[in-house]
Amino acid sequence: MKKAFITGIGGQDGSYLAEYLLNNNYEVHGLIRRHSVAENQDSRINKITKNINTYYGDLLDYPSLVRIINTVQPDEIYNLGAMSHVRISFDMPSFTIQTNALGVLNMLETYRTLCPEAKFYQASSSEMFGNSVDEDGVQRLSTPMNPVSPYGCAKVMGYNLVRHYRHAYGLHACNGILFNHESPRRGSNFVTNKVVKGAVAIKKGLQDKLELGNMDSYRDWGHSKDYVRAMHMILNHNTPEEFIVATGETHSVIDLCEVVFSKLGMDYKDYIVQNPKFMRPEELKYLKGDPSKAREILGWQPEYTFETMLEEMIDHWQQEL
């Protein structure tokens, strides 16, 4: 039985990945950050806590990483832990850089010194490209990386550290450049779940308006379940490489609102209010990934469409609210 260690196991991707690996007969271990409200630590994994092993620690606390990795001796490491909210990274730039860049360095050093035969996956991000787009309107591995947020800048450093450690020390360390991916488990301050939850709340008469920021940004949105399958495929490819995981389709925030509100029998224009506080100091306007390498080499295909993903999220909030 293979042993997997997941940082960020309590997050959207970490929780889906833990379930996926359990279903594939893995022994699953994960890093948990302490919260003052204990329920916030494991709300996404509370249904599987009896089947996994969790440990208190932090990407910035090197001794805790050494203690845990030395104890677990994993075969596979998935570094999904991060300060994951791009807009908030402008408010917390120092913490974001430390967690998303130096945290990767701490993980790589722990991995290199304690279990160098393991395989290492780094959760890289489409935010690394910033507003760089190829002439055909697509971002691919050869597209220049010009990030436009502290989050994106930190992710570029983490990405390059992984490549450096692979080449310098002969490690099986790889990057998955994942474009936006959502689900009912997405935090409700991320625009997709904010729109879905807000629309359902309006439909139920629980609120009157929904405040959003930039309505004209375009994103390539997929489902987290599809993307954690890709993570496993990338890590277990015979050679450690970089892959882009995306749908190859892009939609604006306006498109998102139109689909969600129309499925609930409403017109989004009657309820959306723009609030400057949700705007980024520097906007990332357009993302559309080229997943051809992952499809051709790994055989990865998404099972969800943009609409079926949103339908699942709508169903979730209709039951929860």
DSSP character for 100? I
Q: Which residue has the tokens 């039985």?
A: 1
Residues 6+ apart with CB under 8 A from 217: 252, 253, 283, 284, 285, 286
Continuous segment of H or E residues that includes residue 225:
helix 224-235
**Counting every residue, how long is the chain?**
321
Q: Which residues of 93-112 are buried (b: 16+ CB within 10 A; e: fewer)?
A: beebbbbbbbbbbbbbebbb
* Distance from C-alpha of 34 to C-alpha of 10, rounded to nearest angstrom: 11
Looking at the annotation, which residues are catalytic?
125, 127, 151
* Distance from C-alpha of 86 to C-alpha of 152, rounded to nearest angstrom: 8
* Distance from C-alpha of 315 to C-alpha of 234, rounded to nearest angstrom: 31
Q: CA 83: distance to chain centroid? A: 10
With CA atoms as reference, report the closest residue to 304 among 184, 133, 203, 194: 184
* Distance from C-alpha of 320 to C-alpha of 183, rounded to nearest angstrom: 14
Q: CA 307: distance to chain centroid? A: 19
Sheet holding 3-7, edge to edge: 53-56, 27-32, 3-7, 76-79, 119-125, 172-178, 242-245
Q: Which residue has the tokens 């489902």?
A: 223
